[in-house]
Amino acid sequence: MSIRWRSYLRTHCWLVIWIIKKEIMNRKEFLKGLTGIFATGALFAVAACEKEPPIPACERDRVGTVTVKNSTGYNIWTDVTWGNVVENYEKLLYNGNSYKYNQIPAGSIEIWVSFDGQDWYYEYENLSACEDMTFTWYLTALKSAGECPFHGMTPDGELVTPKLKIKQ
């Protein structure tokens, strides 16, 4: 090979190597910029996300509470039942007191009342999940021996007369 040819190759090889180095550097800068853009976008996406508030246990389990108040002027027995529940938690309420039944399944419930624990009267109510229902028992003036001595006030303020039923 002639000197001229060698010189030409040397010059052009260095030129090609310099161009390749320049392209690699440009790619690195391009990739750095692209990575920066994606990282910034991801940061904004994560920052814009809102956490959903946790579901309350009462909503998840579909339960509520029922507070039974005694405004009869006498001591009474109360209970709250639902569905085909076999277990009862009868509670003696002194005049002016109340009792809160917790973890009552949402749906149709029966609120019970008795003077002696033998003759029970009840009223149906619908309980929603997470509801804190208050039901108040009052004494009704008796008109006849077989008439119910109680009436109740629903959470809506409606006066109701319960039904007599043999409670098991």
Does the pTM exceed 0.85? Answer: no
68 contact partners, CB below 8 Å, separation of at least 6: 78, 80, 91, 93, 98, 99, 101, 111, 135, 136, 137
Two tokens, residue 37: 């853009």
- The residue with greater pLDDT, 82 or 121, is 82
Q: In the chain, what's the furthest Cα-to-Cα distance?
A: 135
How confident is the model at residue 107, as a pLDDT? 93
Helices (H) and strands (E) in the chain, counts: 2, 10
Q: What's the mean pLDDT in 128-138?
A: 88
Q: What's the mean pLDDT in 29-45?
A: 69
Check whether 102 has a pLDDT greater than 70.
Answer: yes
